[in-house]
Amino acid sequence: MNAHDLTAWRDAAVEAAQRGAAELEAWRGKFTIREKARADLVTDADTASQKAVKAYLLGRFPDHQFLGEEDCFGKSLEVLQQSLGSAPTWIVDPLDGTANYAHGLPCYAVNVALMVDGEIVVGVTFDPRLNEMFVAAKGGGTFLNGVPVRVSDVTGIRDGLIATGFPSNFDAQLRNLEAWKRVSYHAQGLRRTGSTAINMAYVAAGRFDGYWCYDNWPWDVAPGAILIHEAGGRVTSSDGTPFNPFRMDIIATNGHTHGELLLALQDDVGDVKG
């Protein structure tokens, strides 16, 4: 892997995200909706977007692998991780924020990342409704529509705007409802956008000061992880161990708020200063 490779991969990820987003916009208002599971939606647009992204990327790089959300329903994280070979692997969510999209709420994105030798080296999150393209490649910084961005300089969650995400399954939501209560005791404000991709891109751009979630998948978090890292932030699992896209739990922050957010998510709210 060299600078030429990274540039080619980054530019391909941008083009792929744009092609996927074009499908999403073309399908707006005329798609049908299905449930993969209770309240877990998929539309014709998800499928069309993934087909466009996959065709472009594997057309450019036929020796690469592809891991897309719409091909992986029902597979465990262990199975997905074991399926990876030695070739570079594109990890794609063709529509992050499907429920928002289905209801006409303009908060969704196409997520594209590339993993090489177990490391995320390229990440792109594209919001077609705001026309915001977040891009990062290893060692090159993070950009929003071509302009460098950095995480915020907020030093504590008392002054922080913190985001989270909830799974579609109500029983799985209960853990995060308790976490919401604990963090809200300390943070200036909490937000739930309905899109992990948007949440993590906003941490990278300094709009959010932190994000946590217990129920993500690799295509939800892989692009955002490198966006945040290259913007100067920090991403770990919810217990503070190193980030692993094949774990469902994640904390992503500007770095300054990381320790406090970790503590706030513990059972004893008294452990958090302030």
Q: Which tens digits make up the pLDDT trace of 162-174?
A: 999 887 766 767 8
Supply the pLDDT for residue 268.
39
Give 28's contacts (C-beta < 8 A, 6+ positions apart).
Answer: 45, 101, 104
Q: How far is CA 14 from the centre of its chain?
A: 15
Q: Has this prediction a pTM greater than 0.85? A: yes
Reply yes or no on whether the pLDDT at 204 is more than 90. yes
The radius of gyration of the chain from alpha carbons, rounded to an integer in Å, stands at 18
Supply the pLDDT for residue 166.
85
Angle ∠(60,246,154) on CA atoms, nearest 5: 95
Q: How confident is the model at residue 40 (pLDDT cuts 50, 70, 90)?
A: very low
Looking at every residue in the chain, the average pLDDT score rounds to 90
Q: How far is CA 247 from the centre of its chain?
A: 13
User: Is the distance from CB of 186 to CB of 214 less than 8 angstroms?
Assistant: no
Supply the pLDDT for residue 35.
56
**What CA–CA distances, in Å, run from 187 to 86, 118, 206, 257?**
42, 34, 16, 10
Reply yes or no on whether the pLDDT at 39 is more than 80. no
